């Protein structure tokens, strides 16, 4: 089951990301700073449940295009408890994010992640469509876009992450 994350879920959400990404990763900090900084679209922050337990979480936040006042949505991060991975939680969270972005009227959804994983949901290399990764992106090939409205012209240029991504 997927639902919108509630304020009382945040302790469990941070634990999901700590366990999913390991103690050396900075994902729990990123989640808190994106949320506290007002970058997150609250109704696009989703949890997946295993019974009553939070098994996974994802959220979408606003990023910008350099030299433009255009804002775009980026799906990040996506985490699932290690013992519950490969059971459909992550896929359900990605689908909920795509559906939510469409309902919001967004033309696209960005992600930085595994092409093998996200390609199943229609994500393709963003630079091939004119959206260049921000300098903080680890790999050009991992910066991807899902086009949600084929009938519109996509923005062009370098994506700019908000401050929490730059730490």
Of 57, 62, 74, 61, residue with least CA distance to 10: 57
CA 52 to chain centre: 23
Identify the pLDDT of residue 93.
98
Beta bridge partners of 62: 73
Question: If you average pLDDT over residues 36-46, what whole number do you get?
Answer: 88
pLDDT at 146 over 70: yes
Which string of b and e fits 99-132 if b means at least 16 CB within 10 Å?
ebbeeeebbbbbbbbebeebeebebebbbeeebb
Provide the domain count of the chain.
1
Distant-in-sequence, close-in-space partners of 53: CB < 8 Å, separation ≥ 6:
12
At 46, which CATH number?
3.40.630.30
pLDDT in tens, 93-127: 999 999 999 999 999 999 999 999 999 999 999 99
37: containing domain: 2-166
Identify the pLDDT of residue 138.
79
Element (H, E) at 91: helix 89-103
């Amino acid at each position: 089951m997927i639902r919108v994350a509630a304020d009382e879920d945040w302790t469990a959400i941070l634990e999901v990301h700590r366990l999913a990404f390991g103690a050396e990763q900075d994902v729990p900090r990123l989640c808190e700073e994106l949320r506290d900084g007002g970058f997150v679209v609250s109704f696009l922050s989703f949890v997946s449940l295993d019974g009553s337990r939070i098994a996974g979480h994802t959220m979408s936040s606003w990023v910008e295009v350099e030299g433009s006042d255009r804002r775009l949505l980026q799906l990040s991060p996506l985490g699932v408890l290690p013992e519950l991975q490969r059971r459909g939680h992550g896929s359900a969270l990605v689908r909920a994010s795509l559906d939510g972005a469409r309902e919001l009227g967004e033309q696209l959804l960005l992600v930085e992640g595994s092409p093998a994983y996200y390609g199943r949901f229609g994500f393709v290399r963003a630079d091939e469509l004119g959206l260049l990764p921000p300098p903080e992106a680890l790999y050009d090939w991992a910066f991807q876009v899902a086009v949600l409205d084929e009938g519109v012209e996509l923005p062009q240029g370098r994506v700019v992450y908000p401050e929490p991504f730059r730490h």
